[in-house]
Amino acid sequence: MKQTYTALSIATMLTGLLVMAARAQAPAGGMEFEIRNIRQAMVEAPSYGGSSSLGGRSPAVGVRWLRVEVQFDSRPEWADDVTLKYFVLLERGRNQRLFAGEVNHVNVERGTHYSAMFMHPNAVKRFGDGRALAVAVQLFHQNRLVDQRSEPPHRDRWWEQFSPVSGFLLAPHESPWAPIANERYEAIKLR
């Protein structure tokens, strides 16, 4: 009986240590927020009809933007300052370049949500071959990292090996999706 108790105590202690180690490796904040998935796609901009009212050329048919979309869960009843930082790695020939951008969401209700960033077709053509090599997203709540994910999955924080270039990734309100973005994406706190 005493041997069984000792073995059980050791097993319980080891299990507790494993749980503590797993929590220590997880981002701060527990699981209040969780990134469910990251998807990238080349998509045509929405057409709002007619030719350009700005006197320029008509919208180009078949020109595709890079859209990086994140689906995430929020467990607090309401949350503000939910920031998603995006890292997109493009490659043209042997030249790799990392682009970074972020959005700060407000009025995030408990549930499943979507966030996105877009890259102009000319930037995709200039710096990449039509698809990102890799994408990573970090989710912060009140300036604390609470989750992160890379697509394709990778154990290392590969995006830290590059000097990111900002200004190329656009939030939905800065893109052709602005008039319809509020139907799918969470509200963005403007600076």
Q: Is 66 or 131 the better-scoring residue by pLDDT?
A: 66
Count the domains in the chain: 2
Residue 190 lies in a domain: no
- Co-location of 138 and 151 in the same domain: yes
pLDDT in tens, 44-98: 998 876 555 555 554 556 689 999 999 999 999 999 999 999 999 999 888 999 9
Q: What is the pLDDT of residue 190?
A: 87
109: domain CATH number is: 2.60.40.10
Give the confidence band of 170 by pLDDT, cuts at 50, 70, 90: very high
- Co-location of 2 and 86 in the same domain: no
Q: Is 41 or 28 the better-scoring residue by pLDDT?
A: 41
pLDDT in tens, 13-37: 433 333 333 333 344 445 899 999 9
- Co-location of 18 and 74 in the same domain: no
SS (H, E, C) the chain: CHHHHHHHHHHHHHHHHHHHHHHHHCCCCCCCEEEEEEEEEEEECCCCCCCCCCCCCCCCCCCEEEEEEEEEEEEEEEECCEEEEEEEEEEECCEEEEEEEEEEECCEEEEEEEEEEEECHHHHHHHCCCCCCEEEEEEEECCEEEEEEEECCCCCCHHHHCCCEECCEECHHHCCCCCCHHHCCCCECCC
- Co-location of 6 and 71 in the same domain: no
Mean pLDDT estimate for the chain: 83
Residue 188 lies in a domain: no
Residue 53 lies in a domain: no
Residue 55 lies in a domain: no
- Co-location of 7 and 37 in the same domain: no
State the residue range of the domain holding 178. Answer: 31-45+63-183
